[in-house]
Structure 1
């Protein structure tokens, strides 16, 4: 679709979206910016939709449901156009970091674009059949008609015309060429010659362009070049030094790791690529995979350091291991909290788990240290010492953990800007602290001197 046709759809798109009462404003942008930072073709529409404050919405619809309704409405009324949704800031960041704003981008990398597109279409069909796949499409547009001008060098030499002269004539007629500059005081204007649109888009007009020969005769372009339309690539993306075709899909109702694992298995069975070609899995999944590798190193290192510091504190292996059990309490509570809220593990949740490990161990230190002090410095019965120390430290635990839990509740239920990151992190911490608060005072005292 040309940029003119795309711009023609913009008013219709705005009208369709603006009819919903939850919408505050709609802005459409056709084409791309002038500084070349957008990796998109010029025939692209970006639609910025501003929402009214959530408190003005009815309770019968959620944001994700509204997005799906609008997309369905647009695709029904404009069936020839593909629509995908996202958040402006995160889309820009993910495009810069990973090259795609989609949850998962499967890139076929190589040289033969036609063969790569066939492989990409097969992968797209496989992805559509997997539960959780949404908005599956090929990121690069298909081939479009392009005007090809193949200069006949022998004919040009016979008339004494340089190839560069023919190229300059074509550039001036179709693309425009600066021939002089007009100065108006401090202002400067380029004087550009170019064919009118009705002639630029006609092969007959291009064939009739007259090119001066060495003896002054004017030779029609049709005698100097083969002018015809061909099916050419609309845009060519690259990965490193090779060409790339990308299948993009969002993932809903399923965790990214399980989705990619299932997709990999099916792609490996159904799609084979020649030597020198690769299938690369990227997008936001690439960011999750990279963060997962870092967490796989960070979490064990955190646990080991906590163990060493506790052993230096207690000088007792048994007490150290009992205190470390608080990590298991927190881990179980965080996992249960994610399951209850229907969230999947992501980078934000991983950071939450690392955070609660330290806080939960602090609860164990309070209890074990208090029990040790009672046993060493007081000569009372062991059972009495355990009960007294547990009661004293219960107040400290309640004041520390409940304050943290209550303070994180707004983040766990937030729906504003940045809430997609806040909610999983806060959910994990609240779940971990709650389980620590329930199990640590009950299980640690009898285990310490059991």
Structure 2
């Protein structure tokens, strides 16, 4: 039991084995001030580099989404028999080539059949920093990220905190704008018309429909000086053409009853219409005269603007400001070793107490499973003990049967260490299966020995010796059958076989060691516990001085 505890503490631990299913996913993180057009160029260069690798079959990449400086790649590798490297090896040899692309980084990770946690990131595992002080978190996140990049056990460390996105700070003098007859709605609508990609119409075709989008020419997107040419219409409408206004009533005099008065009014109205037609307000029609001037005011007349920086996103988790660090593991490093290295780096860096880090996604579930694994094994052992106690109507003989399990545990963990495999959730399933398989050896011997004592009156020594001789053949047959049944799992080499290998390794290792030791340890434990069981009856007989009969075997 002590050896089991020691081996469990030293064996490398993981959540699920790292698989090679022939697919790789990549996340692109570019400079925060990058444009959409330049991002497309970076994506094309990454795709070209990946396609040149002989192990790659197809590549699909796209950019856009919530942030213009991000993109994704999905890489399909050739079948295992047609390539000379695993997915992790392909990623390792692509990294130096991809690092030559300036202004952007491509983070690659091998896709898995089983992935717990719903977080999307540029790497397989996540570690989240939280604090109630946003400024302090923004100060320490780059420091922690740089410190973790120097940790030898992890790779592809990156953060979702992006605080240096470029923006134009536009400050509007509302008083000046009001004097010019401009409202904030007019200003906002004009800017949205220029840069917001407003949909103004839809063209319907027999087989499709097309949105008509209004914006400035693409050549002016990237130049902030374009704002100098933006002009705001004081009427809120077009800068040219007729303005839509209310009708203006004809002017009349007090001499409405005379012909001279009517003639004077007509001349005055005609002159008013002629003056209106000469202004910039547009055409005048009949009795309706437009008196509003459709002027355009340059944006610089009432606003100032200049470059600035802004966060591309502000993340929160559990009501606290949060920053998530993503990372991958170096080849041969388990998840437990990677998390331990991160914790050591955090302590050495002296992170303030107000900033605390927790694992997320797959890493969080792994840490939770570490605390429940010993409890799960203990519950399985208690369940077996209760069932055997009921069947044998004894508290002692179930202990004899359970005594065979420590040797199986030692064999399972040693097999994982020898095969350089981690103790994962799949290996734990193998240990649980061993609890059910291994105890059948002791059950066959103990059951035969008890029957020999009761039916033929044999002594415990003679009964257990005969049980070993008589049950050796069925014990060996069942053990070999189970071992050979697990060999295909341990030696599997197809796509995704890494997920099944720990199950076969633990079963084979546990059965081999338990088979070698069970025939020697079970008789010893049986006789030892039998003497302990008979000791109260022997002590009672010595006190009374009588020859009390031996207690029947249970």
**Coarse TM-score class (shorter-chain normalised):** 0.7 to 0.9
Corresponding position of 1:37: none
Corresponding position of 1:138: 159
In structure 2, which of residues 84, 92, 95 is the aligned counterpart of residue 71 of structure 1?
Answer: 95
**Would the aligned equivalents of 1:137 and 1:247 in 2 still touch at CA under 8 Å?**
yes
Q: Shift of the alpha carbon at 1:103?
A: 5.2
1:16 and 2:39 aligned = no
In structure 2, which of residues 288, 297, 305 is the aligned counterpart of residue 219 of structure 1?
Answer: 297
Higher RCO (C-alpha under 8 Å, 6+ residues apart): 2
Partners of 2:117 and 2:70 in 1: CA distance: 16
**Would the aligned equivalents of 2:62 and 2:72 in 1 still touch at CA under 8 Å?**
yes
SS at match of 1:85: strand
Write out per-residue CA displacement over residues 191-211 of structure 1, whole angstroms, 9 at most, x where no aligned residue: 321111112322222232111
Partners of 2:203 and 2:44 in 1: CA distance: 38
Gaps of 5+ in 2: 1-33, 236-291, 529-554
TM-score (norm 1): 0.85
Partners of 1:11 and 1:193 in 2: CA distance: 28
TM-score (norm 2): 0.70
**Would the aligned equivalents of 1:254 and 1:344 in 2 still touch at CA under 8 Å?**
no
1:263 and 2:296 aligned = no
SS at match of 1:86: strand
Trace 1:223-238 onto structure 2 (pairs within 5 A): 223-238=301-316
In structure 2, which of residues 86, 110, 133 is the aligned counterpart of residue 87 of structure 1?
Answer: 110
Write out per-residue CA displacement over residues 396-425 of structure 1, whole angstroms, 9 at most, x where no aligned residue: 333333222222222223343433322223
Q: Shift of the alpha carbon at 1:298?
A: 2.3
Q: Shift of the alpha carbon at 1:62?
A: 4.8
Partners of 1:334 and 1:302 in 2: CA distance: 17
C-alpha spacing 1:401/1:149, structure 2 compared with 1 (3 Å): farther
Write out per-residue CA displacement over residues 316-358 of structure 1, whole angstroms, 9 at most, x where no aligned residue: 3332212112221121111101111112222222232222222
Alpha carbon RMSD of aligned pairs, Å? Answer: 3.0
Trace 1:14-413 onto structure 2 (pairs within 5 A): 14-23=47-56, 25-32=57-64, 41-58=67-84, 62-75=86-99, 77-78=100-101, 80-89=103-112, 93-94=115-116, 96=118, 98-100=119-121, 102=123, 104-110=125-131, 115-141=136-162, 143-184=164-205, 188-213=209-234, 216-252=294-330, 253-273=332-352, 275=354, 277-379=355-457, 385-413=463-491
Higher helix fraction: Structure 1 or Structure 2? Answer: 1
Partners of 2:44 and 2:208 in 1: CA distance: 36
Partners of 1:191 and 1:20 in 2: CA distance: 42
Write out per-residue CA displacement over residues 277-324 of structure 1, whole angstroms, 9 at most, x where no aligned residue: 542232422110122233343222222111111222223333221211
Q: Shift of the alpha carbon at 1:441?
A: 2.3
How many residues align structurally? Answer: 437
Partners of 1:83 and 1:191 in 2: CA distance: 35
Write out per-residue CA displacement over residues 242-280 of structure 1, whole angstroms, 9 at most, x where no aligned residue: 4422222223334433442343244145343474x5422
Partners of 2:423 and 2:366 in 1: CA distance: 10
C-alpha spacing 1:303/1:218, structure 2 compared with 1 (3 Å): same
**Would the aligned equivalents of 2:107 and 2:122 in 1 still touch at CA under 8 Å?**
no
**Would the aligned equivalents of 2:153 and 2:337 in 1 still touch at CA under 8 Å?**
no
Partners of 1:234 and 1:149 in 2: CA distance: 18
Corresponding position of 2:6: none
**Would the aligned equivalents of 2:229 and 2:299 in 1 still touch at CA under 8 Å?**
yes
SS at match of 1:317: coil
C-alpha spacing 1:283/1:200, structure 2 compared with 1 (3 Å): same
Q: Shift of the alpha carbon at 1:184?
A: 4.9
Partners of 1:409 and 1:62 in 2: CA distance: 23
Partners of 1:394 and 1:85 in 2: CA distance: 54
1:7 and 2:40 aligned = yes
SS at match of 1:30: strand
Q: Shift of the alpha carbon at 1:30?
A: 2.1
Partners of 1:312 and 1:100 in 2: CA distance: 52
Q: Shift of the alpha carbon at 1:186?
A: 8.3
